[in-house]
Amino acid sequence: MKILVAGGKRTVGIIQSVAEHTKLYVDLEYLYTETYEEIVLELQKRQLAYDGILFTGASPFEYVNHRVDPLIPWEALPNTPQAFLAALLKAGYMNQWDLTKVSVDTYPSEMIHSVYEEIGLHMDQIHLYIARFQPNDPDYTNQLIAFHVDNYNSRRAAFCITNSIAVSTSLTEQQIPHIKIDPPTEIIIQQINALRLKHQLKMAEHNLVATIMVDIEIYRDQLYEISELERFRSENEAKETVYFFARNIRAAIFEISDGRFVLFTTLHQLEQYSDNFRSFPLFQNIRRSENINHIFIGIGLGADSYSSKRNADNSLIRAHRQKRDCLFLTYEDGTIAGPLTYEVTSQEENPASTANQRLLEISLRTQIGMNTLKKLESMIRQYSIEVTTPQRLSELMNMSLRNMNRLLAKLEENGYVKIVGKETRGTSGRPSRLIRFYL
């Protein structure tokens, strides 16, 4: 996935530094600019050359959004209470500035008030001057500069807080004390992951969303005499493997805790990676790390990320109950497939597991539930069916003829059923189709 990072030089540089020291598994291109019009021109010409746009703040986002229609996912680094609090701490602790007299831009008053209350200063103790200009106002940057300069020169404010590098540069030249707010690392990572997820969901408009939960257990029993250093190395090797897996399937990945990850991708990507679930190399790749006790994987499918995550939770619970390396898959209708172990290589070693994976492939292609397919296969085997009619099948499976015809249509569309003739009847009426299965 290719993301354009657009905005002021300082903040773009911070994002670039975070990207270089964090495994984000996205391709980032950078547009350093002090004028929002440059971003407008770039997106008017080449927006579709990217998969997502990350703006360095709300101001460039709002300015561009009034002039260019988003054709791909856009995100902006938000103003956060943590960043504002960090600016106050720097001003008060490091610079010994008076925190009760401040000139501020781009931050909403409600957020500023809440931060001051957090540090024990109430509104009747402080004098805040908050800029009310909008990014689309004519001469926006110069208005902000003039606002801060006036507040400081008139001694209403002891210092200024700004979110604009252009304003910060001007205040530096005029030797006016100020703090330039920079985005926290976790916010940068969060917004890039949000873009990845939006991109995946956009790609999945005609496909199911797949949520994958991976839980890796490292030996912690003293019996194995594993040092903290060995455990740390094993956890990091396994983590590297999961992040590499996420990149292969173009997934947005979130680390919930040590050894536990949630990935969002599409069913199409999973099918390509696993050869329609005939294999799942992630198990073997994680096993290459030492001191791995168990690997549990739960996959959920759904029309949206919420329902697929709920189904993945259900799958992971079932995987844990097996107390062995395995995978469960829960469909959007609640049907469950598993446990899939991928531990054997030939049908002779474990024919039941191989048959289960074969039915899973059919289920994924036809969107017919595993329980229905297992029941159908059981009927075919029990009655030694080679050629039959939809009417007879509906009776054997206790299913309405309409539902049976729908099921057969899905199988026929994917090559698992063929019409080989018609059964003539002694009575009046349409002849029934003769069908043969290729399951």
DSSP readout, 179-237? EE----HHHHHHHHHHHHHHHHHHHTTTS-EEEEEEEEEEP--GGG---HHHHHHHHHH
Q: State the number of CA atoms in the 13 A half-sphere of 99 facing the CB.
A: 23
Q: What is the mean pLDDT of each run of 10 residues along the chain (439 residues)?
A: 89 89 83 87 90 90 89 88 89 89 90 88 88 85 94 95 90 94 88 82 66 85 56 79 86 83 87 79 82 88 86 92 89 83 48 61 75 82 85 87 88 87 64 84
Neighbours of 83 (CB within 10 A): 18
Q: Are 209 and 304 in contact (CB under 8 A)?
A: yes
Residue from 39, 37, 79, 42 nearest 164 by CA: 79
pLDDT at residue number 312: 92
Opening angle at CA 307, ends 301 and 309, nearest 5:
75
Distance of alpha carbon 360 from alpha carbon 374, whole angstroms: 10
Domains defined for the chain, CATH in brackets:
2-76 (3.40.50), 81-180 (3.40.50.12500), 204-366 (3.30.70.270), 370-437 (1.10.10.10)
